[in-house]
Amino acid sequence: MPRWPRQIVFGDVDAMFASSAIVANPALAGKLVAVGSPPPRGIITAASYPVRRYGVKAAMPTAHALRLCPNLVLVPPDRPLYERMHNRMREVVDHFFPVSAWTSIDEFYADATDLQSLYLDPAVLARTVKQAIFEATGLRCTLAVATGKTVAKVAADSHKPDGLVVIEPGTEAAFRAKRPVQSLPGIGPKTAAELERVGVRLIGDLIDARFEPLLHRIWGKRLFALQELARGVDHDPVVPDREQKSIGHETTFDQDTTDLAVLERTVRGFLSELAHELRQDGLAAGAFTVKLKDDTFNVTTRQRHFSKPLNYDPPMWRDIRAALRSLKVHRTQYRLVGLSLSELVPATEGLFDRRTTQAVAAMDAIIEKHGAGVMRLGGIPEE
């Protein structure tokens, strides 16, 4: 079997939060399980695959989900459980791969290029890793192997759940050509709908000369990079996440939005999780970056420093909200928002006064038990 120039593995745990709840409580097996908080104000955090067939999805109000799926079994978020599962999976991935990077609690990339002498067939390696993850956690995952990260992710997305797929070198463009254009990272529902109106429905259409003038008007200089991804050309390396000097979250909305309140709620939720992570690791952040991507894929960011390294939400949110508003969100359709905290340093003693220290400890105890979604930031009046 010829040697691959690069061999990248992408792994995605199938419905991790709901699946973890079933592993922890086998009595839930076979039931319509979703993770979330109860109505009237609760939302769905994650849904199992059987529940998704009813149209239930993450961020949906729980009351609406119950109308779609009356037999829904709602379980509360359990962050400690998810972290235990993640740590077990990380041990498995670290055992097999010399270089890996987790992009979220349930997704990872790994570079298997140097393992080809041990595993001549990449499918054997992927199957072995899948089984090891299942034995360690009871969770099923989908694994894909390709020469680049983007091809591997698209392949995995098209073979979920519990899938395994290998995209051989030289077949990347052919594999992608017949995939829906929306399956390419960077193209959301609104852009896909606009492209479909002019006949661009498949990834292969992005490199069709007939559509070149139109696509160039939409993306300009960014079109070349998008076309390279459409061809399966992706040299982005796997950088070990243990070497990261920042932490962050970002999300692509199901529908583009012009609503500043939606953007603020989303970023505020990110901050709650990230600040908690800093405190658990004994760190504080000296700087932050707010990121927005509009419906033309133009990315704007605002990076600023805190007055001192912080890991407590209210004073951090004051600066972050001001930065978000300074991006002048007016009538522009935004498809992605993100927040990252950087310049991480060990948190110093006496970072808070005694009363605040007690409040933070109580807040962290609640988050550990129920997840960050149950907390609302205090200390800053809404405007």
Which residues are catalytically annotated? 107
- Phi and psi at residue 243, in whole multiples of 5°? -95, 5
Neighbours of 74 (CB within 10 A): 18
Q: Cα(11)–Cα(107) distance, rounded to whole angstroms?
A: 6
d(CA 44, CA 359): 27
